[in-house]
Amino acid sequence: MIQMKVKRIAADRRRKPLVILMDNDETMVLPILVGINEAMAIYFELTNHKPPRPMTHDLIANMIRELGMTLEDVVINRFHEDTYYAVIHLTAGDKRYEIDARPSDAIAIALRLGAPVYVDSAVLDQHAFHASEVSFGADEQEGREDDTDERFRSIIEEADLDPDT
């Protein structure tokens, strides 16, 4: 397994949100298509945006803390029929739990609790890109505005979502 970090939230050419994972050596990139609500939850955490009331992922993180549990890690462990799968590893005392989860939910919770995110090597071998194949706009092209995050911001602005409900 390879530890990954969330590089950013972006939008693909069809304006669908993606979470972009990158290994710590910044050589491999794994884009994962996610839902708008999960993308917003990840984006809010990455940008330190705190809504006035807890969102679902905040609630789950608060419950894990209050119950005295520890989120050990999140593992994106397989890809099947165009879908990524993940597990969340929790501990409570000497008991260990493995909870099935969507990668987007698992990542949103891991970010809130400071837990590492891993991807199975076999998944990376089949679905990751070498970092040199991926452009992040302004990250690599000085003076050019990064329209990737801007496209995602426009999706959020256009979405009819009320995070307080």
Four-residue CA torsion sign, 30, 35, 36, 37: negative
Q: How far apart (Å, rounded) are the C-alpha atoms in residues 123 and 34? A: 17
Tell me if 135 is assigned to some domain.
Answer: yes
Place of tokens 């000085």: 142
Classify burial at 44, counting beta carbons within 10 Å of its beta carbon; exposed 0-12, middle 13-18, buried 19 or more.
buried
Q: How far apart (Å, rounded) are the C-alpha atoms in residues 91 and 113? A: 13
- pLDDT attached to residue 14: 82
Tell me if 93 is assigned to some domain.
Answer: no
Contact of 119 with 21, CB cutoff 8 Å: yes
CA 64 from chain centre, in angstroms, equals 18
Contact of 136 with 148, CB cutoff 8 Å: yes
Q: How far apart (Å, rounded) are the C-alpha atoms in residues 165 and 48? A: 20
Tell me if 87 is assigned to some domain.
Answer: no
One DSSP character per residue, 119-165 reads E-HHHHHHH-EEGGG---GGGTSTTS--HHHHHHHHHHHHS---TT-
Give 10-residue mean pLDDT values along the chain (165 residues).
Answer: 93 85 92 92 91 92 97 97 96 96 97 97 90 60 46 50 38
- pLDDT attached to residue 150: 58
Tell me if 147 is assigned to some domain.
Answer: yes
Tell me if 99 is assigned to some domain.
Answer: no
Parent domain of 47: 2-67+117-158
Q: How far apart (Å, rounded) are the C-alpha atoms in residues 93 and 70? A: 9
- pLDDT attached to residue 133: 74
Tell me if 77 is assigned to some domain.
Answer: no
Tell me if 47 is assigned to some domain.
Answer: yes
**Tokens representing residue 61 in the block:** 């993180």
- pLDDT attached to residue 159: 45
Q: How many CB atoms are located within 10 Å of the residue 27 CB? A: 13
Place of tokens 């609630």: 59
Based on the structure, what is the number of domains in the chain?
Answer: 1
Tell me if 104 is assigned to some domain.
Answer: no
- pLDDT attached to residue 10: 86
